[in-house]
């Protein structure tokens, strides 16, 4: 009797050792007695280990596959492998594994762990394989992006140069008079002050005041010319020609004082300003006017 109990204990230990040897992380083997689908203590312990690994690793699926040895006919073995798979599946769900995470299959005697001939009893073939899908490794952590280099201070653009539209000038005045009080030709010479301002990029207005001495006439003496002008600018560079007209008043010794009007042309070149105009007094014919020329030097503002 004692000898029989000792042999039984040795067999149980050997079976447990074999089952332990077949189990590895992610793969567990549950063994069954001949023709049985019930779970003994060793089988339940193996299933518990599989359930614990599933929950610990955070896996999302687990496969359960039932098998038999080649003893018995194929139809019986197929049904037996299905019962074994279902027994393991029920135990897993009892231990907390979601049923939706379990996929079961039964293969009968078609996938042997130990190849044998037909009708052979083999304990390693009477099994259920439990495969736990290993969770995907976490993605590698991207290296932190290097800190951006401090931006160099952006130098502020210098303010645009102030646009200077006006010129105030002082210079010489000369006029040639085609008709004085004695119906003769005479000359005018003196100084001139001028102010011109570009109200638009293409148009300027101006005023002039000349003081002169009237000579080569029967009544030499001093006089003056006051005029306003409107000119069209023919460019925008350093040298700007212009064409326009003026109107004003002419007075002095040897001159029939009166208003005048007429055309003028000129040019602005840097700080210099030159004009030539043909003044037609209102009390004379067109051919009896005065050619008036000015040349000034001034500053822009």
Per residue in 129-150, pLDDT (tens digit) is: 999 987 666 777 777 778 787 7
At the fourth CATH level, the homologous superfamily of domain 21-132 is: OmpA-like domain (3.30.1330.60)
CA separation for the pair 242, 274 (Å, rounded): 10
Task: Give this prediction's pTM.
Answer: 0.49
CATH 2.40.160.20 for domain 166-300, yes or no, is yes
Q: In the sheet where 127-132 sits, what is the strand order? A: 27-31, 127-132, 62-66, 102-106
Token pair recorded at residue 194 = 């001028």
Q: In this predicted structure, what is the pLDDT of residue 71?
A: 94
Taking 70 as the pLDDT cut, the residues of the chain under it are 1-22, 135-137
Question: Cα dist. 83→72, 89, 92, 104 in Å?
Answer: 15, 10, 14, 11
Residue where the block lists tokens 């231990």 = 95
Interatomic CA distance for residues 290 and 180, integer angstroms: 10
φ, ψ for residue 38, nearest 5 deg: -90, 155
What is the location of CATH 2.40.160.20 in the chain? 166-300
Q: What's the distance, CA 277 to chain centroid?
A: 60
**Interval 89-141: pLDDT, tens:** 999 999 999 999 999 999 999 999 999 999 999 999 999 999 998 766 677 77
**CATH 3.30.1330.60 in the chain, residues?**
21-132
């Amino acid at each position: 009797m004692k000898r029989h109990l000792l042999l039984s204990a040795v067999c149980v230990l050997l079976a447990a050792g074999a089952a332990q040897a077949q189990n590895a992380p992610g793969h567990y083997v549950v063994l069954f007695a001949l023709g049985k689908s019930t779970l003994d203590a060793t089988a339940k312990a193996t299933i518990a280990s599989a359930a614990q690994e599933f929950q610990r690793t955070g896996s999302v699926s687990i496969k359960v596959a039932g098998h038999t040895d080649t003893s018995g006919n194929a139809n019986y073995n197929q049904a037996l492998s299905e019962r074994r798979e279902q027994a393991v599946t029920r135990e897993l769900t009892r231990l907390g594994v979601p049923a939706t995470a379990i996929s079961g299959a039964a293969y009968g005697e078609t996938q042997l762990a130990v190849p044998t001939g037909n009708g052979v009893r083999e304990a390693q073939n009477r099994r259920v394989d439990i495969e736990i899908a290993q969770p995907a490794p976490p993605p590698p952590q991207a290296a932190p992006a290097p800190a951006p280099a401090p931006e160099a201070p952006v130098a502020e653009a210098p303010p645009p140069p102030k646009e200077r539209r006006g010129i105030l000038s002082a210079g010489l005045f000369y006029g040639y008079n085609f008709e004085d009080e004695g119906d003769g030709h005479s000359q005018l010479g003196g100084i001139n002050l001028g102010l011109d301002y570009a109200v638009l990029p293409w148009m300027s207005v101006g005023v002039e005041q000349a003081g002169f001495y009237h000579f080569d006439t029967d009544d030499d003496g001093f006089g003056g010319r006051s005029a306003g002008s409107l000119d069209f600018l023919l460019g925008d560079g350093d040298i700007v020609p212009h064409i326009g007209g003026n109107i004003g008043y002419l007075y002095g010794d040897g001159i029939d004082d009166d208003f005048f009007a007429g055309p003028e042309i000129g040019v602005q070149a840097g700080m210099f300003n030159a004009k030539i105009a043909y003044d037609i007094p209102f009390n004379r014919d067109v051919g009896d006017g005065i050619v008036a020329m000015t040349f000034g030097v001034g500053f822009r503002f």
